[in-house]
Structure 1
Amino acid sequence: MTHVWFIGFLSTFAGIGVGGVIAGLINGFKKSIGTIYAVCTGLILGLISFEIAPEAIQLGNWLIFLLGFLAGVFIFKLIHMRVHKNSVITKASHKHQNRRLGLFLALIISIHNLPMGVVLGASEQSQLSIALLQALILHNIPEGMILFTPLFIAGPSIFMLFFLSIFVAVPIALGALVGEMMGMQNNLLWAFLISLTVGTIYMVTIKEILTESIRQSSNIYSLLVALIGFCLMGAYLFYY
């Protein structure tokens, strides 16, 4: 498959963009920010449980996954302490909190996309490459929803949304170029990196998104809506 890095970039950009459009429509008809955040919580946990984590385990093994996951949790705690150091969340700063969460999610998704791109590039000459391209488009739709929901709430410019879509898609292209050159000799390394992003995304989901949902509504309501989102994501990934 020629120019797999470019096709991967376009697939990711398209998936993120479609997810962003859906997030914008949902945000336009929102009745509760807490509900939207609870849905996002379920979608993310479903995505990492049914798609990303099994992918990491398949590339490596359970031990590599556990080590990478714990490393991701540790990195999140370091970043979290740095970002929230001396910050006071008030109604006036709530908009900035949502923008910061959106940018943080963009960074985490970008880190996750790099090893994904490597796997795509390394499998260029196989049927796996076509399957991965399809998966990129489909699983980036909910990622786009997750990424842009807090940003739409914060009210960023169209330019920022376009820039972040490119920012998230570029690591796929870079990873594919690296994968073409290196091949799949480093499965354990890529499995570790993917597992690391799973740990980081998990902590962002629980500490940032679910916590905000509970703050806006209640424990039982947020967990129930998150469970529905989790099941919907599982069904979506199972049937695509």
Structure 2
Amino acid sequence: MIEVEKDAVVVGGGPSGLAAATRLAELGYKVAVVELGDELGGILIQCIHDGFGTKLFGKALSGPEFASIFIEKLGELGVESWTRTYVARVRAEGGSWVLTAVSPEGVYRFSCRAVVYATGCRERTPFEIRVGGTRPAGVYTAGLVQRLVNLYGVLPGKKVLIVGGGDVGMIVARHLYLEGVEELQIVFPEPWFAGLPRNVQQCVLDFGIPFRPRTVVKEIVGKE
């Protein structure tokens, strides 16, 4: 077992974890970041559109660009990170926290004074969507579509219906249009898009992507 002693261990290397680790290191604490994925950045890695960093850095950055600033800062501050590492157990021991973690390199035992959980959240809608039917295959969340297209180069299909007129839906629609989806349409129950006006213009209107307001999906059926 590999022993590691730090003041704090941040579990999760996404946006929240990177921000927490940066601030703790700036305050003088010795910090470790433990991330389950192959690299730091979390959901930012799959968000290749710009719009990040306008408040912090005064310019629009893509998700990977935004993450890289924090990752570089962590390196400058001497923060160590472990990727492809799964935290299997956390327990209190003698006034400290002890984390047992597993990675391809072996089993780690992290001892620290504080643990910061920044493990992200499960993608879900703000309320339950009751859609009946017989065809769950081919139904994706927006985040999964971004991951498939941006990280693996896989289109979810040639004919796509996007349900939801928020910012993420519009951004995904533009990306799928540019990737060559043959048929594409956005539907949403509101009388107009719920996202930012600039996304309405730059993601939908500029590309002539068809949309249908005041529309609710009630059933999904099919065999193919």
Q: One fold, TM greater than 0.5?
A: no
In our comparison, the structure showing a higher alpha carbon Rg is: 2
Q: If each structure's helix is expressed as a fraction of its own residues, which one has the higher value?
A: 1
Q: If each structure's strand is expressed as a fraction of its own residues, which one has the higher value?
A: 2
- TM interval, shorter chain, is under 0.3
